[in-house]
Structure 1
Amino acid sequence: MANGTNKDKLGDCCLAEYHPLPGTPRGQIIKIADIDTYFIEGDDQTSKGKVIVLLTDVFGLVKNPRIIADEVSEKSGMDVYVPDLFNGDALPSSHLKGSPEVPGEKKSFGAKLNFVGKVFTDIGPWMIRHRQGVTLPIVERFFKTLRPERNATRIQAVGYCFGGLYAMLAGGSLHLADTIVGCHVSLVNKSHFEQLQVPAAFAFAQEDEYFSDSFRTEVQHILSRKSDIPSKFLLTNGTVHGFASRPNPDNPTIMAAFKQANDLIAEWAKTHL
């Protein structure tokens, strides 16, 4: 069993978002491997043992990933977990202010200067604190504890941006997940795709500064040669990096793509878990 629950931990003060999704999270915070984890129970009794783990972007376990977990659980009927990989030390999503939200949109000169300043004072030091040598052991500990403590027989890892790298590692030689989904993944190279060993689906933005069109084509070729591993690619229109985790609720095109990503996660789990 999980070693305790705490509904107040990571409460209202930590649910701030730059573009908050509507609704109120329905799950609770529990401890798994001493990691604060958002948990929402699925309602499909025939799917017990099959679980989905969401690995967040750099903005951590705030409101949006919890709302996404609730929606994915509702669509799949499965239990969904969202571990806090940063122990409360996530970047604030206010860093997204001034970032492009639709294809073709450019940052203003002021926004570019502000971002450069944050790289030196905030983002850069954060990336060092949460480098792979620090984060990967946390991910491994979580997955290895999840199976026996929560009777998880089959696991789908879903990674967003920063978390996409760890979903791919989980689906590679580490053998932590049985299937994966990546949503606008970043920090990856072609070797990560060459090393995939489980069914993998990916949701891409129309325009992504962290994942070029040419790299996407290369990735598709790599996975097409892995005939024994099912793969699927969803390219969404009218979107930029971040659409699946930090969409603007006032933009119907982006919200439609956000729903597509959630549908992909749920359907991939129902097909391959």
Structure 2
Amino acid sequence: MAPENTFSSCCLKSFAWDETPTGHDTTLSNIPTYITGTNPNAAVLYIHDALGWKFINARLLADHFAREANVTVYIPDFFGGEELDQVAILEGRFHDVDLRGFQTRNAREVREPEIFACAKTLRENGYKKIGAVGYCFGGWAVLRLAARPPLVDAVVVGHPSWLTESDLEGISVPVQFLAPETDRVFTDELKLHAFQKLVLGKPRGVDGKGLPVEWVHFPDVAHGCLTKGDEKVDGEREAMIRGKDAAVDWFRQWLT
């Protein structure tokens, strides 16, 4: 039996933990952006969490999406060049981070116009299919992109923060939720409301048919697991791999 918090070689092969990101930095809608992949017809807008657009796991996830779903992935810097202390965040030392000021400087009303502009630019650049994936901070944003009239064709929402009930109104493209069991911000009440609204409420998509919704539950892990993949936290790396695989399958289904 393998020691606790270690993984077999077959498990580790399913994610490039120790690789160097293969994309490059450019701009999208005049915003510094990491881009990976070469598909001229299908793109994914990746809206990052508090760890930012340079976070190694974000870029590795983007590389996986590009390779496995055959899409071109863009991760713009939606924090205006501001970078929080990644080590402090990963170690849970939030008292060492100016979260209050950060939230003010990067409030929804500040960043939403930039996010919308990036999605519109992708469409103007000729992509026939556009998806969006958002983790934590990015979760509310991809739902806004999915609301009527939608700017994208499918979205993936990973342990969203800053989400309100009104963000679930008017969703009209296929949506996948990646939901860890323990989450202080995507609470049980919000999860229930989302499920009731988007599944039991039987909303219609832009094609007039029933809205495809997929709910992926991650037991025994907490908010942030889908991007942090902390090898010191039992189950986090497996959850991140499973979340990556689920998102890849979703994009394959709706962007091809």
Q: TM range, normalised to the smaller chain?
A: 0.7 to 0.9
Letter matched to residue 165 of structure 2: K
User: Aligned partners of 1:38 and 1:66: how far apart in 2?
Assistant: 8
Q: Matches of 1:256 and 1:98 in 2, distance apart?
A: 19
Partners of 2:47 and 2:75 within 8 A in 1: yes
Q: Provide the residue aligned with 2:37 in structure 1.
A: 41
Q: How many residues align?
A: 232
Q: What's the secondary structure of 2:124's corresponding residue?
A: helix
Task: Map Cα deviations across residues 246-266 of structure 1 (whole Å, 9 max, x no partner).
Answer: 120345621111011111111
The answer (yes or no) to whether the contact 1:21–1:249 under 8 Å persists in 2 is: no
Secondary structure class of the residue paired with 2:66: helix
2:116 alignment partner in structure 1: 140
Summarize deviations over 1:28-75 as a string: whole Å, max 9, x none: 011121111111115xxxx64111111001221122211110111122
Question: Where do 4+ consecutive residues of structure 1 move more than 6 Å?
Answer: none
Please state if 1:50 is matched with 2:42: yes
Query: Residue 68 in 1 paired to residue 44 in 2?
Result: no
Amino acid at match of 2:224: G
SS at match of 1:238: strand
Q: How does 1:107-118 map to 2 (within 5 A)?
A: 115=95, 118=97
Give the one of 152, 159, 179 matched to 1:177.
152
Give the equivalent residue in structure 1 for 2:250.
268
Equivalent residue letter for 1:141: A
Mapping for residues 1-273 of structure 1, pairs under 5 Å: 21-42=17-38, 48-62=40-54, 63-99=56-92, 115=95, 118=97, 122-149=98-125, 151-173=126-148, 175-224=150-199, 225-227=201-203, 228-251=210-233, 253-273=235-255
Could you tell me which runs of 5 or more consecutive residues in structure 1 were left unpaired when the two chains were aligned.
Answer: 1-19, 100-110
Q: Which amino acid aligns with 1:41?
A: G
Report the secondary structure of 1:156's partner residue.
strand
Structure 2 gaps of 5+ residues are 1-15, 204-209
Counterpart in the other structure of 1:15: none
Give the direction of change, closer, same or farther, for the CA distance of 1:172–1:251 in structure 2 (3 Å limit): same
TM-score (ref. length: structure 1): 0.79
Whole-Å separation in 1 of the counterparts to 2:75 and 2:192: 30
Given residue 170 of structure 2, which amino acid in structure 1 is its aligned partner?
Q
How large is the Cα RMSD of the aligned pairs?
A: 1.9
